[in-house]
Amino acid sequence: MPATAIILAAGLGTRMKSGLPKTLHKIAGRTMLRHLLASCESVFDRIVVVLGPDMDAVRAEAAPHACVVQHDRLGTAHAALQAVAHFGDGEVAILYADNPLIRAETLRAMLDRRMGGDAGLGLLAFRPADAARYGRVVTADGYVERIVEWADASTEERAIGLCNAGVLCAAAPDMARWLRDVRNDNAKGEYYLTDTVALARAEGARVTAIEAPADEVAGVNSRTELAAAEAVVQRWLRVAAMDAGVTMIDPASVFLQADTAFEQDIIIEPNVIFGPGVSVARDVVIRAHSHLEGCTIGRGCLIGPFARLRPGTVLERDVHIGNFVEVKASHLAEGVKASHLTYLGDATVGAATNVGAGTITCNYDGTFKHRTTIGANAFIGSDTALVAPVTVGDGAITAAGSVITEDVPAGALALARGRQENKFGRATAMRQALRAAKQKDGH
C-alpha cells in the first residue's frame, strides 16, 4: 500500500531567536529538514512539506519534494489539512520538521504496526528521563484512550511516563476526515493535530501507541535543544564510525558531519573536527587538533597534529601533512611530504616531492587566484615563497629562503635571495655604540 509523509515545516524559529526558519538550523552539518527527509525517503512513496509564506529557502531545501503553503498559521491540524490533496488512497503519516532525528526503522515500525493491526490511528510515543511538560498518553488494555496535556492533567496522569511525540499515521480517508472535523474551541483558537485522537476514539476506532527511543523524538525549539540534538547525532555518528573500523582515542572530542565517510583501520586522535564533505581512505592517521573540510584523503596518509585541510584538497596515498600546515584547493600526489608550518593553496604537487618548513604558495594577488605547479621528486627548501602563477619542474630544487617568481626548469636549482655579506667586527662595534648611547641618556 502506498504511504505518504506530510512534514510540517512552517515554524518561524521564534524561540531560536533567529531570522533563519527553524527547520534550516543544522545538526552535524545537515539541516533539520534534510535529516527528516533522509529518513522519510527510504520509507514513504511520497513526501509533501508544508511551509509558511515567503519560505523560499525551505522550499529549496525540500526539493525535489512537493510543497504546500499554510498562509495562516492556525495550528498543526490546519497545517496538515493544507496537504490533503496529496494524501492519495494509502497510508498518511504526519510529522514535524522540528523532530528531525526519527530514524527510518522507527517510521517503518510505526507504519507496519498501524497497518498490520486493528487500530485506525497510530501515534509515536516515548518515555523521556524527565517527562516534564509533555502531553501524557493514557492507555487501557493496550490501546490509547486519550492524550492529556500537562496543564490539564491530574496528579495521577502527570505520573504517567509515556508521552506523546506528536507523529500520527492512519489511512488517508480517515486522516482527512478527522482533520476536517478538528475544532478550534480552545484558548488559542487553533486547530490541534492531537485532537484527531479524540475524534478517532469517538468513532470507535482503536488508537495504538508505538514507542520510539526518546533520543529520536525530542523536539528542537531552542538553541539549547539544538545543542542537545547535536550531541545525540554526534554520539550516533561516532558509534557508527567505530563499528565500521575507525579507532577514536577520545570519541567525545571528535566532531563529525552527517556525510563524513570513513573506510576501516583509521586512527583519529583527540580534538579533531570534520566539516562537510570529507572522505577518508583506510590506514590513515589523523593526529590531534586537526580540522578537515571538503577534502579527500587517500590511503595511508598521515595528517597533523594541528593541520588544516580546506575544501578542494585531494591527497593521494601516503601523503604526510604535518603540524601547522594548511592545504586548500590543492592536489598532492603519492608520497608528498609537507611536515611543518606551510601553506599550499591552489597548488598541484607531484609524487614524492618534499615541501620544506615555512613554504607558502602566494596564490592571491588581491583580485585573482593563481595556481602553483610543482613536479615530482622536487625539493622545496624551507621558507620558500612561490609567487603564482609559477611552475617548478620535476626534480628541481629551490634554495631555502628563496622568492620564486619565474618557472624553474626540471632538474634545476633555483636561488632567489640577496647575497650574504659578513662585516667583521661590526656587531661588537654596534653593541658598544648602543650601550654608550644608553648611558648618555641616563637609562
Confidence of residue 364 (pLDDT cuts 50, 70, 90): very high
Share of the chain above pLDDT 70, in %: 100
**Helices marked H in 119-194 — which ranges?**
155-158, 172-181
**CATH of the domain spanning 3-217:** 3.90.550.10
Per-residue model confidence (pLDDT) at position 366: 93
Per-residue model confidence (pLDDT) at position 178: 96
Per-residue model confidence (pLDDT) at position 269: 98
CATH 3.90.550.10 segments of the chain = 3-217
| CA–CA gap between residue 336 and residue 56 (Å, rounded) | 45
Q: Is the pLDDT of residue 253 over 80?
A: yes
Q: Which fold has domain 223-414?
A: UDP N-Acetylglucosamine Acyltransferase; domain 1 (2.160.10)
User: Computed over its alpha carbons, how large is the radius of gyration of the chain?
Assistant: 31
Summarize pLDDT for 180-233 with one digit per residue, the tens.
999 988 778 889 998 999 999 999 999 999 999 999 998 899 999 999 999 999
Summarize pLDDT for 285-298 with one digit per residue, the tens.
999 999 999 999 99
Per-residue model confidence (pLDDT) at position 438: 87
Q: Give 163: exposed, middle or buried? Use CB within 10 Å, 0-12, 13-18, 19+.
A: buried
Cα distances (angstroms) measured from residue 364 to each of 274, 341, 344, 416: 26, 19, 12, 20
Summarize pLDDT for 264-322 with one digit per residue, the tens.
999 999 999 999 999 999 999 999 999 999 999 999 999 999 999 999 999 999 999 99
Q: Taking phi first (over 0 means left), then psi (-120 to 50 degrees means alpha), and beta for anything else, what does residue 404 get?
A: beta
State the catalytic residues.
340
Per-residue model confidence (pLDDT) at position 150: 82
The answer to whether 322 and 339 are in contact (CB under 8 A) is: yes
| CA–CA gap between residue 240 and residue 386 (Å, rounded) | 42
Per-residue model confidence (pLDDT) at position 14: 84
User: Average pLDDT of the chain?
Assistant: 95
Across residues 335-354, what is the average pLDDT? 98
Per-residue model confidence (pLDDT) at position 439: 87
Nearest CA to 146 among 170, 123, 167? 123
The answer to whether 54 and 71 are in contact (CB under 8 A) is: no
Per-residue model confidence (pLDDT) at position 416: 95
Across residues 38-44, what is the average pLDDT? 97
**Helices marked H in 172-247 — which ranges?**
172-181, 195-202, 214-217, 223-243
Confidence of residue 373 (pLDDT cuts 50, 70, 90): very high
CATH 2.160.10.10 segments of the chain = 223-414
Per-residue model confidence (pLDDT) at position 188: 80
| CA–CA gap between residue 78 and residue 194 (Å, rounded) | 12
Q: Is the pTM of this model over 0.95?
A: no
Per-residue model confidence (pLDDT) at position 403: 97
Q: Is the pLDDT of residue 442 over 80?
A: no
Per-residue model confidence (pLDDT) at position 443: 61
Q: Is the pLDDT of residue 352 over 70?
A: yes
C-alpha cell at 415: 636561488
Please write down the long-range contacts of 155-158, taking CB distance under 8 Å and 24 or more positions apart: 158/131
Cα distances (angstroms) measured from residue 428 to each of 342, 420, 422, 439: 36, 19, 13, 17
Quote the strand ranges of 52-90, DSSP E.
66-69
Q: Is the pLDDT of residue 414 over 80?
A: yes
Across residues 235-258, what is the average pLDDT? 98
Summarize pLDDT for 99-116 with one digit per residue, the tens.
999 999 999 999 999 998
| CA–CA gap between residue 100 and residue 91 (Å, rounded) | 21
Nearest CA to 392 among 339, 342, 344, 348? 348
